[in-house]
A and B are shown apart, each in its own frame.
Chain A
Amino acid sequence: MDATFLLLLACGLALFGYVLGRQRAAAFTARAPSWRAVHSRPGFHGSFVALAVAIPALLLLGIWAAVGRPGPSAVGAAIVLLAGLAGGALALRRLEPSFRARTWVERATMLVLLAASVLAIVTTVGIVLSLIVESIRFFERVPVTEFLFGTRWSPQTAIRADQVGSSGAFGAVPLFWGTIFIGAIIAMAVAVPLGLLSAIYLSQYASGIARRILKPVLEVLAGVPTVVYGYFAALTVAPAVRQLGLSLGIEDASAESALAAGLVMGIMIIPFVSSMADDAINAVPQAMRDGSLAMGATSSETVRLVIIPAALPGIVGGILLAVSRAIGETMIVVMAAGLAANLTLNPFKSVTTVTAQIVQLLTGDQEFDSAKTLSAFALGLVLFLITLVLNIWALRIVKRYREAYE
């Protein structure tokens, strides 16, 4: 019997229970001397019965799905349905005018609400656990120190022992460097000035109409899927960058380069930086601006000497969030940065990043237990921890900054 079918059946049974409970309650409500004699309205009685059917049935079904596979057998299905029926029958017997069905239903609803919000914690814990468990298995094969401080990355473990490079090398420093080089250096060198200046221009100089048109345009820039940026980087920007490199006399300018990926990533981050900066600038009270203008400062002096210093914490927080987003960005680097683990300062050369390697390691067919696939989880763990620290730090700065002006 199909699990989906069983699910539907349980739901149907619950609905049936609802109708039955409601009918019975409606009957005794009609007979009651006054509406005060009945604690709960019929609908609550119905809902109570429905819950009594659904909860045991779904609980069993859930356990079944988690433990046994494939699909529940006929016996299992019978147990699930019987549990539902038993729950419903017990509930029906309890219905009477003084029964506090509403209290029960509300309590159950609160539990559902609580469960929904706990899911966020569950997800976080799930991420941490799955990353840590797989990482531990990885570090059983490869020492942590080699992973964190080694400078050679070549995860191809060979099928046959006598093959060249069969051991594989898991020194992730070139990956970390590539991630920082592209995401935190090149992309930020593009995004911070452009995003900040755009925000300043929009908030201080642009006319109302220009603002109304240009802001959504920037938002469109933020809504373009990263795979599109990646394609654009690979198709248009990378060849142009290579050409530039060659014309600058850099002979080993490669088709995939840190610069191409970083540039496009920076452009992608612009709207993010500009909207954070816009928030920070708008949080600076108008009185500051007026105070400066009334002193005879020009707009640019007001911006440079009063607004930016006042908004600095907010802007810094925004930049930290932008860095966190840039180093976690995947498609652009997969498509434009390449897979060569170079430890280089030359932006025209190909470098690789943590995210690009994760994709590379986990796509295609390989057995799940090899050091190669497990290393992806170790990389994921590092990425998660770094972005987590950046986010918490940034949110704290931004929050303190908001409070300062409230």
Chain B
Amino acid sequence: MSIDTLARVAQNQRSVDARPLMTARDVHVWYGPKHALKGVSLDITRENVTAFIGPSGCGKSTFLRCFNRMNDTVAGARVEGRIELDGQDIHAPEMDVVQLRARVGMVFQKPNPFPKSIYENVAYGPRIHGLAASQGELDHIVEHSLQRAGLWDEVKDRLQDSGTALSGGQQQRLCIARAIAVDPEVVLMDEPCSALDPIATAKVEELIEELRGRYAIVIVTHNMQQAARVSQKTAFFHLGEMVEYGDTSQIFTNPREARTRDYITGRYG
């Protein structure tokens, strides 16, 4: 790990710990007979970026998808344990999954804009949830979301072009704009930069830093430096278990667990 990154980790340290926005307690996930997640407990704090790291197949995405119940859409998947959003059990019958997903947004590994115009992509969420009272308000939301995602200047003259015609990095920022257009409380990002080049990655990372004031952000990443750069909290997963969780600086400079150290120093994974 370079000196540079370490300096950055230390800088991020100053973030304050806030009260948890989401809590997960003893979460298990099975895909059919496969026990993919084995009793993970974790708090996601507001105003903090939480990074999930760990070798491939260790259950990072699986855990991430628990927070907005995307595992419901997988045939044969079973989730146990308690997850709360703002003190409400998200598996409770009175919790509406449609609303939950509006409050807990998600950005995927591969950019997945809808085959619609840029404008329609961003307007999709506000439209279905009825968040804009008028066309003017909708325009306003679209503009703000694109501005927040740092895409506005690049696309403001071609909002009616297809979203799929953008470059990979632009597409991913479009997906972020789409996710934040409904003004969620949490944004889940599953390896948002793995399909992007370094420049686009830097832009997305900047964006994450920028968004940190307003949303709780959880990011899955395979890139150690990225985790160190953007997050304040890091959780290390291995074989379906959460091995270690703590301040990012501590995880990267002074891990308690041997497995974490091995992974961070590149011994395996």
Contact = CB atoms under 8 A, between A and B. Distances in A.
B100 interface: yes
A37 to B, nearest CB: 58
Contact of A296 (B99, B108, B175): B99
A292 B175 CA distance: 11
Given A287-B108, A301-B128, A305-B128, A292 B114 contact: yes
Please indicate which of the listed interface residues A288, A290, A291 has the most CB atoms of chain B within 10 Å of its own CB.
Answer: A291
Interface in A287-314: 287-298, 301, 305-306, 309-310
Interface stretch (B5-13, B67-75, B134-142): B67-75
Given A301-B128, A305-B124, A305-B128, A294 B114 contact: no
B105 A294 contact: yes
B75 A295 contact: no
Nearest to B102: A296
Given A287-B110, A305-B124, A306-B114, A295 B73 contact: no
B28 interface: no
Contacts of B115: 288, 309-310
A285 interface: yes
Contacts of A294: 68, 70, 101, 105-106, 108, 179
A33 interface: no
A289 B98 CA distance: 14
A341 B128 CA distance: 51
Contacts of B73: 289-290, 293
Interface in B106-127: 106, 108, 110, 112-116, 124-125
Contact of A288 (B106, B114, B129, B178): B114
B220 interface: no
B178 A290 contact: no
A296 B75 contact: no
A280 B110 CA distance: 21
Contacts of B125: 295-296
Interface in B198-253: none
A296 B103 CA distance: 8
B182 interface: yes
Nearest to A297: B128
A401 to B, nearest CB: 11
Given A290-B70, A290-B73, A295 B179 contact: yes
Contacts of B68: 294
Contacts of B75: 208
Nearest to A291: B112
Interface string B8-35: 0000000000000000000000000000
B88 to A, nearest CB: 16
Contacts of A291: 108, 112-114, 175, 178
A288 B124 CA distance: 13
Contacts of B116: 309
A295 B110 contact: no
B102 A295 contact: yes
A298 B100 CA distance: 12
A310 B113 CA distance: 11
A285 B70 contact: no
Nearest to B73: A293
B204 to A, nearest CB: 17
Interface string A298-340: 1001000110011000000000000000000000000000000
Nearest to B125: A295
Nearest to A294: B106
Interface string A201-212: 000000010000
Contacts of A289: 73
A295 B112 contact: no
B102 A288 contact: no
A288 B100 CA distance: 19
A383 B113 CA distance: 43
B184 to A, nearest CB: 9
Contacts of A296: 98-102, 125, 128-129, 182
A295 B128 contact: yes
A292 B127 CA distance: 12
Nearest to B96: A296
Contacts of A297: 98, 124, 128
Interface string A265-294: 000000000000000000001011111111
Contacts of A290: 70, 73, 108, 112
Contacts of A288: 112, 114-115
Given A291-B112, A294-B106, A295-B182, 9 more contacts: A287-B108, A288-B112, A290-B73, A292-B114, A294-B101, A294-B105, A296-B101, A297-B128, A305-B124
18 contacts: A285-B112, A287-B110, A288-B112, A291-B108, A291-B112, A292-B114, A292-B124, A293-B70, A293-B101, A294-B105, A294-B106, A294-B108, A294-B179, A295-B102, A296-B100, A296-B101, A296-B125, A309-B115
7 smallest beta-carbon distances between A and B, as pairs: A296-B101, A296-B102, A287-B112, A294-B106, A291-B112, A295-B125, A296-B98
